[in-house]
């Protein structure tokens, strides 16, 4: 018994001493900036920056292969990283939040069957793309909620996810996890959103959901800046959108929504449409 304890203890001590010396002799100098950057990053390891976790991003920054402001959750970390690296970043980049491209509430969307399987969108999506007649819509089972590391998404009373604009960091995790692809990250100052992803013909879309995009192209014709185009479904080019809301007024099915400005964002003042000539929207006549 004594021999057993002693011999193993001595073996362990010998190996420990050898490893200790080897650790000194073969020490690799890690750039202290890597450690410092890991310190200021949020540590969520969400992968939104495109690198394997926060440490991978920190190494890429020090190696000069990554932009300093690629961290979506830690938008506050950008300036600190810039300080560590002794560089400056463009402050104009705006934070983004997730927006839902569907308004298929229980009242709006027609149900096709009752889903009683596993409470997960991916599972429901395998059953004929969900229980709604609209096969493009949000399934409302909360796969986005499960994947959100910041508790920014909740399933609301309408059975649709509601994004908390203060908590959402725009990390894109929910967007990537959504089997229906009905989430999108958009700059916070953008207020006009198409709440429909249905790519069916107008008649079929309307039959599936009261607030579907019916591809009438009225929004496209009336947009003063050409920001909205109707292909398979109406899509807003947020680089051109000025939040004027003409498309919201004109949309016959109310598939486009203008949300109230979000506190903390720096919304661009909607430009006066008259300054760009008449868009023939007809609002002035009403």
Partner 1 sequence: MQDIMIIIIGAILVNNIVLSQFLGICPFLGVSKKLSSAIGMGAAVTFVMVLSSLITWLVQRFILEPLSIGYLQTIAFILVIASLVQFVEMVIRKTSPDLYRALGVYLPLITTNCAVLGVAIINIQKSFSLGSMLANSLGNAIGFTLALILFAGIRERLEEADIPKSLAGIPIALITAALMSISFLGFTGLL
Binding residues for partner 1 (CB under 8 A)? 3-4, 7-8, 11-12, 15-16, 18-19, 22-23, 26-28
Nearer to partner 1, 30 or 118 (CB): 30
Nearer to partner 1, 11 or 76 (CB): 11
Considering the complex, what minimum distance in angstroms separates the CB of residue 2 from partner 1?
10
Cα 179 from Cα 143, distance rounded (Å): 9
Tokens standing for 268? Answer: 């661009």
Contact 74, 57 (CB under 8 A): no
Considering the complex, what minimum distance in angstroms separates the CB of residue 22 from partner 1?
5
User: Mapping DSSP to helix (H, G, I), strand (E, B) and coil, where does residue 276 land?
Assistant: helix
Nearer to partner 1, 27 or 107 (CB): 27
Nearer to partner 1, 7 or 65 (CB): 7
Q: Which residues contact 172 (CB under 8 A, 6 or more apart)?
A: 48, 72, 185
Considering the complex, what minimum distance in angstroms separates the CB of residue 147 from partner 1?
23
Nearer to partner 1, 29 or 114 (CB): 29
Tokens standing for 28? Answer: 């690799």
Considering the complex, what minimum distance in angstroms separates the CB of residue 207 from partner 1?
33
Considering the complex, what minimum distance in angstroms separates the CB of residue 221 from partner 1?
42
Task: Using alpha carbons, list the distances in angstroms from residue 1 to 5, 12, 69.
Answer: 6, 17, 60
Nearer to partner 1, 8 or 176 (CB): 8
Cα 70 from Cα 57, distance rounded (Å): 9
Nearer to partner 1, 26 or 86 (CB): 26
Considering the complex, what minimum distance in angstroms separates the CB of residue 200 from partner 1?
27
User: Mapping DSSP to helix (H, G, I), strand (E, B) and coil, where does residue 174 land?
Assistant: helix
Considering the complex, what minimum distance in angstroms separates the CB of residue 48 from partner 1?
22
Sequence-ordered alpha helix ranges (H) in the chain: 2-25, 32-40, 53-62, 77-85, 121-125, 143-147, 173-177, 202-208, 218-222, 246-250
Residue 12 CB coordination number (10 Å): 10
Contact 57, 134 (CB under 8 A): no
């Amino acid at each position: 018994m004594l021999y057993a304890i002693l011999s193993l203890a001595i073996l362990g001590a010998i190996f420990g001493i050898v490893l200790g010396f080897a650790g000194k002799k073969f020490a690799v100098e890690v750039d202290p900036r890597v450690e410092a950057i890991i310190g200021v990053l949020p540590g969520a390891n969400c992968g939104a920056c495109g690198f394997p976790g926060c440490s991978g991003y920190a190494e890429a920054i020090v190696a000069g292969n990554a932009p300093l402001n690629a961290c979506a959750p830690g938008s506050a970390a950008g300036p600190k990283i810039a300080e560590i690296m002794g560089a400056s970043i463009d402050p104009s980049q705006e934070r983004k939040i997730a927006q839902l491209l569907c308004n298929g509430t229980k009242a709006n969307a027609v149900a096709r069957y009752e889903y009683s399987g596993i409470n997960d969108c991916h599972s429901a999506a395998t059953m004929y793309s969900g229980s709604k007649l609209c096969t493009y819509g949000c399934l409302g089972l909360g796969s986005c909620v499960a994947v959100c590391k910041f508790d920014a998404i909740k399933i609301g009373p309408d059975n649709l996810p509601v994004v908390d604009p203060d908590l959402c960091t725009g990390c894109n995790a929910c967007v990537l996890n959504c089997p229906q692809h009905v989430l999108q990250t958009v700059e916070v100052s953008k207020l006009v959103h198409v709440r429909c992803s249905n790519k069916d013909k107008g008649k079929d879309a309307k039959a599936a959901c009261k607030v579907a995009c019916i591809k009438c192209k009225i929004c496209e014709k009336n947009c003063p800046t050409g920001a909205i185009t109707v292909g398979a479904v109406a899509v807003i080019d947020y680089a051109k959108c000025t939040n004027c809301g003409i498309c919201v007024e004109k949309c016959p099915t109310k598939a486009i929504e203008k949300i109230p400005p979000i506190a903390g964002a720096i919304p661009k003042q909607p430009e006066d449409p008259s300054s760009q000539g008449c868009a023939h929207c007809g609002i002035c006549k009403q």
